[in-house]
Structure 1
Amino acid sequence: MAANTVPDLHWLETIDHHNFEERAIALFHYQYEHNPLYRAYTDAIHINAEAVRYLTDIPFLPISFFKSHTVLTGTQEPELLFESSGTTGMIPSRHHIVHPKYYEYAYRSAFAYFYGNVEDYIVIGLLPSYLERKHSSLVYMVNDLVQMSANEDSGFYLNEFEQLAIVLQKHRDKKIILIGVTFALLDFAEAYPMDLSHVIVMETGGMKGRKEEWTRMEVHAYLQQQWQLPGVHSEYGMSELLSQAYAPANGLFSCDRTMKVLLRDESDPLETYAYGSGCLNIIDLANIDSCAFIATEDIAKIHRDDTFEVLGRRDHAALRGCSLMVI
C-alpha cells in the first residue's frame, strides 16, 4: 500500500496473522503522510519515517494526545465522537470517528471470533454510568450487538435488578452474555446471589470511585462466589480504540486479527519489545482515521503465547519514561 493509498473496509477485512506486520507498516506510512499531529510527533522525537520497517520501529502516540489534540488522519469530517468516561473534573479523551463501519467491523469480527454468532445469544448490558453519557463507544457496541441478537429479552438494564434476575434465570436453555461495568456487576451480585453458571458474565472495568478499588482477581472471585460461575470474562477496550481484546478467564487477554500489543521500557519509552513486562503499546489497525499506534498508560505483561494481562495503571506521580513530553 502506497502512502497515498487510502485503506478501506476491504483492506481491513483481509488482515490476518501473516500480513499484519506488512499492513501495520503500510498504515504507519499512510498516517505519517496524512495525520499532521502524528507526523509532527514522529519528527519531534527524531524518528526517520523512511527507516521504519518493523513493528518495533513504529513510534506510538501517547494516549494523552486524545485529550489535548484532535487526532485525525485525512480531511473528511467525522460522523461520530466517542469520549472517555474519566473522573469528575478530568478532561475526557475524544476520539473522532470518520467511518463507523470500521468500528462495527472490528467489534463484530472480534465477538464472532471469541464467542460465535451473536444471533445465538441473549445480549444484556448492565452499563448504568455509560448510559448516562452521550458519547460512549461501549454503549454503541453493546447496543449494536443487542440489535443483532434479535431477542426480545436482549437490551440494557439500568437499575432494574429484579427484572434482570428474572430474565437471567428463566433462560437456562439459551446462551446469555451479561456485559457489565464492574461496580454495577458487584452491586447486582450483592443484591441477587444466585446460580448463573449458564451465563457468560463479562466485566468491562470501571470502578471510577464508585466503590473501594478492588483488583480484578478480587472482583472475579466475588462474582464467582455470588453467582456460582466457573469463571468471569473480561473485555479490554477504550474510547481511543476501535478493536478489543477478550479474556475468557483469569484476566489473560487475547487479540483479534486487527489488534496487537507490544511493550515499551519504563525508562526508555522509545524502546519497544514483544514479551515481558512494561508499559502497554497497542497497534489497532481499525483506527485508520485517527492513529493506529497508541502508547497507553497501562502496565502489562505479555506472555510468549501472545496473551497479556493488565497489571495496573502507571503512577501519575512518577511519569518517568512511560510518557513523553507533549509537543
Structure 2
Amino acid sequence: MTQGAVIDGLLAYMATDHSPEDEFDQQALKLFAYQYQHNRPFQRFCQQRGKTVRTVKSWRDIPAVPINGFKELTLSCIPASDAERVFMTSGTTQGDVKGKHHHPTLSVYDYSMTKNFRQRFMQGRERIRMGVLFPTETLLPNSSLAHYLALAVKEFGAQESHYFLAREGLDIVRLIAELERAERVAEPYALLGASYSFVHLLDELHKLGKSFVLPQGSKVLDTGGFKGLSRELSMEDFYAQLSSVLGIERRQCINMYGMTELSTQFYDSGNAALPAVKTGPHWIRSRVVDPLSGKEVPRGERGILAHCDLANFNSVTTILTEDVGVAVNSGFLLLGRAQGSAAKGCSLAVEEFLQAALG
C-alpha cells in the first residue's frame, strides 16, 4: 500500500461520524501492516514480542511503543528528511534530548484537529474572538501545541483574535483591555493556552485586583498541566479561580489532553466536577494497561494509558504513555504522571523496547 492510498483511506474513514469496533479494527490492521513493513525499529520490536501481520488480529493486539522511544529512534515510515513538519517534545526528563514526530504531510493532523475541535470546543458556534496564551507558530515552529493553536485561530477565531504571549512575556495590559471589551460589548470570548500560562495570568490579575464577568458563551481551554513550570495549584483550586476571576462557568472551562507523540486530542466536557472524563473521536481508542506486560488492568483499577491513534499513520498508531488513568464507560479519567512502581514499569518498558528495536 502506498502512502497516498493510506492517507486517502484514512481521511475518508475520519470523515464518517462514528465507527463500530470492527471498522476501527480494519483501519488499525491496515495501518499496522503498513507500519510493520516500512518502520524498521517498530518491526523489530513487534517481532521480539511475537507480533506480526499474521498474529495481530485486533487493534488491542498492536504492541504499544513507549513515548520515550520517540527520543531515541526515528519512528517513521519515510526518511526523516522527507517530512513536511517535525514536531518536537519540550520535556526535560532526558536533558536536551527531544522526542521527534515526523509528519510527511499535515493534512491528516490538521483534519483530526479541526473536526474534533469544532465538535468538542466550538459546539455549534462558527467563530469566536480568541486570546491565545502561548507563543506563535513562528516563534515555536516545532511545537505541536503552537500549530494546534494556530489552527484554532485560523479556522475558528473571529477577526481581531490575538496572541498575548511573546518572548517579552505576557502582555497583560492588552489582555485586560480585551477582557474589558468583551464585558462592555457582551461578545463571548475564548482564552486558549498552556495551563501554566493561566496560572501566571491569575497571579497578574490578583496583583492588579482585577476580575471580570465575561459574557455567556465565553470559554477557556487549557492544556499541558503546570507542575514544575509555575506556582502549583490543585486542579480544584485552578478551575475555581479561573471561573471566579473570569466569570466563566466551570462547565465552560475545558481541558485538552494531547501530546507530541499523538496526532489526535482528547477533551473533557468542562470541569464542574473533577476528575473530568476525557474522550476522543472515533479514530482513537484507549486502554489502561500494566506497562510491562501491556495487558489491560481490570476496569476501575489504575494503570498506564495506552492510545491507538489512527491519525498517527506515519509513525506508530499505538503508544504507551507515562500517564496514570482509570477506564470508565465513556472514556477515561486522567490521574497524573506515573510515580513509584508505575514509573519504574514505564522505564523498564522503554528499556525493553529499545533493546528490541535496536537489535
TM-score computed with the length of structure 1 as normaliser: 0.89
2:191 equivalent among 153, 169, 178 = 178
Which position in structure 1 is the counterpart of 2:12? 13
Q: Please give the per-residue CA displacement for 1:106-133, whole angstroms capped at 9, x wherever unaligned.
A: 1001111212467421232101598753
Q: CA RMSD in A?
A: 2.6
1:60 deviates by: 0.6
Structure 1 residue runs of 4 or more that deviate by more than 4 Å after TM superposition? 2-5, 128-132
SS of match in other structure, 1:148 = helix
Counterparts of 2:3 and 2:138, CA distance in 1: 39
Which position in structure 1 is the counterpart of 2:208? none
Taking the TM superposition and a 5 Å limit, the aligned residue runs for 1:220-299 are: 220-231=239-250, 232-250=253-271, 251-266=276-291, 268-272=292-296, 275-276=299-300, 277-299=302-324
SS of match in other structure, 1:51 = coil
Deviates more, 1:223-232 or 1:122-131: 122-131
Which position in structure 1 is the counterpart of 2:68? 64
| Identical columns (%) | 26
Which position in structure 2 is the counterpart of 1:109? 115
1:321 deviates by: 3.1
Counterparts of 2:227 and 2:162, CA distance in 1: 24
1:38 deviates by: 1.0
Which position in structure 1 is the counterpart of 2:174? 163
Taking the TM superposition and a 5 Å limit, the aligned residue runs for 1:52-91 are: 52-75=56-79, 77-87=82-92, 89-91=95-97
1:92 equivalent among 95, 98, 117 = 98
Deviates more, 1:309-318 or 1:246-255: 309-318
Structure 2 residue 321 is matched with structure 1 residue 322: no
Do the aligned partners of 2:114 and 2:155 also contact (CA within 8 Å) in 1? no
SS of match in other structure, 1:201 = strand
SS of match in other structure, 1:233 = strand
Counterparts of 1:316 and 1:73, CA distance in 2: 35
1:20 deviates by: 1.6
Count of residue pairs the alignment pairs up = 324
Counterparts of 2:164 and 2:62, CA distance in 1: 42
**Amino acid in the other structure paired with 2:6:** P
Taking the TM superposition and a 5 Å limit, the aligned residue runs for 1:296-315 are: 296-305=321-330, 307-315=331-339
Which position in structure 1 is the counterpart of 2:235? 216
Q: Please give the per-residue CA displacement for 1:27-77, whole angstroms capped at 9, x wherever unaligned.
A: 112211121111111112232431111222111111111111111013471
Deviates more, 1:181-190 or 1:276-285: 181-190
Which position in structure 1 is the counterpart of 2:159? 152
**Amino acid in the other structure paired with 2:191:** L
Do the aligned partners of 2:297 and 2:303 also contact (CA within 8 Å) in 1? no
TM-score computed with the length of structure 2 as normaliser: 0.82
Counterparts of 1:188 and 1:233, CA distance in 2: 17
1:160 deviates by: 1.3
Structure 2 residue 72 is matched with structure 1 residue 51: no
Counterparts of 2:195 and 2:10, CA distance in 1: 35
**Amino acid in the other structure paired with 1:215:** S
Q: Mind listing any 5+ residue stretches in structure 1 that lack a counterpart? A: none
Greater share of residues in helix: 2
**Amino acid in the other structure paired with 1:241:** L
Deviates more, 1:73-82 or 1:104-113: 73-82
Q: Mind listing any 5+ residue stretches in structure 2 that lack a counterpart? A: 206-210
